[in-house]
Amino acid sequence: MFIAEIWRYPVKSMGGEQLDFCDLFADGLPGDRILHVENARGRVLTSRSHPRLLLHHSALAPNGEPLVDGRPWRNDDVAEDVRSAAGKDAVLVYETGLERFDVLPLLVLTEGAVRSLGYDRRRFRPNILIGGVDGQEEREWEGRRLSIGDAVIAAVDLRQRCIMTTFDPDTVEQDVSVLRTIQRTLDGTLGLNCNVETAGRIRVGDPVLLLPSALRP
């Protein structure tokens, strides 16, 4: 097994950026989901209800500043785009705590699982995509540990998937059969929620080893 792709999403619910390498820490990839969209009442807005957010792409500048479609996130034109996608009172909010994640800091997915479904892997927004895996083998990894590059991560449980998977990442055209297929064939789960157990650098092409020991208490 090997790392096929690494993804970071500096703005929650927007498109992300592919990386060749990255350092993993206790809170996952540096800069992952450090911005989100809120309305005037402080409610977090996501592409579940505002799928047009997916049409914008986020990245980090060399100095660590989040970018939206290549522009600094504080720019007025970025603010206008956010309002257009998510409502007239929508704003970007910076957040660095672990509460910025829906579940855990990392989502790991395998190419085998994606191929078995036949959908674009971007619908499922993995942080790490692992190649060299047959079918739905990832479903046997709950409670196991993975040595990935220089890091070790703990595969805690399978990720429950939501309506966000039904939106095409390029057009936001909705196909509800995506989620129905996951619910019918996989009990609604796909990919693994993971914690970083040992920090370290990972690179595309690095070998991935499934460790024999169970997840430590």
Q: What are the boundaries of each domain within the chain?
A: 2-27+101-214, 35-99
What is the mean pLDDT of the segment spanning 21-27? 96
Q: How far apart are CA 114 and CA 211, in angstroms?
A: 23
pLDDT bracket for residue 212 (50, 70, 90): confident
Report the 3 state secondary structure along 194-210: EEEEECEEEECCCEEEE
pTM passes above 0.85: yes
- Backbone angles phi and psi of 144, in degrees to 5: -100, 170
Question: Which residue, chain included where needed, has tokens 């592409």?
Answer: 47
pLDDT at 148 exceeding the cut of 80: yes
pLDDT at 128 exceeding the cut of 80: yes
Q: Is 109:126 a contact under the CB 8 Å cutoff?
A: yes
Domain 2-27+101-214, CATH number (from 3.40.50.300, 2.60.40.10, 2.40.33.20, 3.10.110.10): 2.40.33.20
CB proximity list for 161: less than 8 A, separation 6 or greater: 124, 179, 182, 188, 189, 190, 191
Q: How far apart are CA 110 and CA 114, in angstroms?
A: 7
pLDDT at 208 exceeding the cut of 50: yes
